[in-house]
Amino acid sequence: MKKLTAAALCWTCLWAQPPAAPEGEDLALRTALSEAGSSAVDFIRALEQHLERFPETAKRAELERALAKAALDAKDRDRIVRYGERALRRDPDDLHLLERVARALLETDDAAAAERALRYARRYQETVDTMRRQDAPGRVPAGEWQDELDRGAARALLLQARASGVTGKAAEAVSLARSAYEMYPSAEAAREIARWLIRQGREWEAVEHLADAFTLADPKNTEADRLRDRQRMGALFSKAKGGEQGLGDLVLRSFDRTSALLEARRQRARAADPNSGAREVLDFTLSGLTGGSLKLREMQGKVVVFDFWATWCGPCRIQHPLYEQVRRKFAGRPEVVFLSVNTDEDREAVEPFLRENGWQVAVYFEDGLSRALEISSIPTTVILDQQGKVFSRMNGFLPDRFVAMLTERIEDALRRR
């Protein structure tokens, strides 16, 4: 779910859905929002004043949802809770709001607020569990989708741990935080385990988890976070041992442990999806229409011409015979490889399409490659040089010039060393 900024919440967005507002209210909102500009704070003020002026507005639901999103941008805890809870009563499966409202409620040690947060965290987990039973949306790679679901489930467990701890259930909090860490290792989860172990008086056990938080390769772990972990870890270690001698060995063991844990996760992800973690074009493996797969790393040293197309794309049909003309020009040159890459979401439509149109070409599925190459329209032709780097890109095509242009660019790529 994309983050919605105050600047994006223009009056046209708010009035895009029925029911229509009375003309006077419509004009008032246009004026208020135009004066608010792109400031989240001014945007919130304008909408709140509008709701005070028009308390019976038929657009209250949209306006309060917009206020919840703007409160997130403004990091306004009280309004995140106030408007977020109202929005969740209307849309209880909004994952972004479920997490952010729960976190806001847990910023204090108020037990009643923690009970509400616990309900949202459990709803978050239920929603993620439902999503696990569904296919990945659009062209999102299976490995990336699984990774995001694991991350979401871990966040839900972590919020439940914090809420449980605040309500006085420290042992349950430790168990839930451990489950979050096992689901998706993070510095926050390791820190949460330590927090509730300390609350139980198990300070020496907490040292190991603070060391994990300190050493874990986590992009969300800031230097300020690591400094606090280091200070707390050192204090607890010194309290138990009378000094920091031996702490370095403990930290090294933690580093080895967390590194092995992350590597094991990467290996599991690759087993489920060979393109998990792929960043460079040659790191990808494409599945074939008739079975088998193609490791693009095997193409290094060749000029590779990718033709990205789809069965529903009319221009792709027009381009295909032109593309075949270029392919025939290089038929005797093994240093040039042409790859037909299908981008259809419905893969079952591809084979009947090829048969119906008489296309005699080996077809591979994009398997996340189109996202890595930022393919935003089709047909698109991408040429890699012999080092595996993008040499040229042709978005769309000019029928009168396509054959000559593509031929020239392939020859230029062959000359690059």
Residues 154 and 118 in one domain: yes
| Catalytic residue list | 313, 316
Q: Which of 233, 264, 295 is the last residue of a domain?
A: 264
> In terms of residue numbers, what domain contains 290?
281-415
**How many domains does one find in the chain?**
2
Tell me if 18 is assigned to some domain: yes
Domain annotation covers residue 197: no
**179 and 324 share a domain?**
no
pLDDT in tens, the chain (417 residues): 333 333 334 334 454 444 444 557 888 888 888 887 778 899 999 999 999 999 999 889 999 999 999 999 999 999 999 999 999 999 999 999 999 999 999 999 999 999 999 999 999 999 999 998 887 776 677 778 888 999 999 999 999 999 999 999 999 999 999 999 999 999 999 999 999 999 999 999 999 999 999 999 999 999 999 999 999 999 999 999 999 999 999 999 999 999 999 999 888 887 778 888 788 999 999 999 988 899 999 999 999 999 999 999 999 999 999 999 999 999 989 999 999 999 998 889 999 999 999 999 999 999 989 988 999 899 999 999 999 999 999 998 888 999 999 999 999 999 987
The CATH number for 313's domain is 3.40.30.10
CB 302 within 8 A of CB 335: yes
Does the residue 56 lie in any domain?
Answer: yes
CA-to-CA distance for 142 and 306, rounded, in angstroms?
A: 22
Domain boundary among 211, 229, 264: 264
Q: Which CATH number do you get for residue 102?
A: 1.25.40.10
Same domain for 305 and 168: no
State how beta strands 303-309 and 285-287 pair.
Answer: unpaired
Q: Is 390 helix (H, G, I), strand (E, B) or coil?
A: strand
Structure tokens at 235: 């204090």
The reply to whether 217 falls in a domain is no
Query: Last residue of some domain: 239, 264, 289?
Result: 264
- Residues 315 and 402 sit within 8 Å (Cβ to Cβ): no
Does 70 map to a domain? yes
Residues 163 and 260 in one domain: yes
Helices (H), ranges, 311-401: 314-329, 350-357, 369-372
Q: Any idea of the CA torsion for 67, 157, 193, 277, to the nearest 10 degrees?
A: -90
Query: Hey, which residues does 340 pair with through a beta bridge?
Result: 307, 363
332 belongs to a structural domain? yes
Q: Are residues 259 and 322 in the same domain?
A: no
Same domain, 257 and 306: no
255 and 377 within one domain: no
| Structural domain includes residue 154 | yes
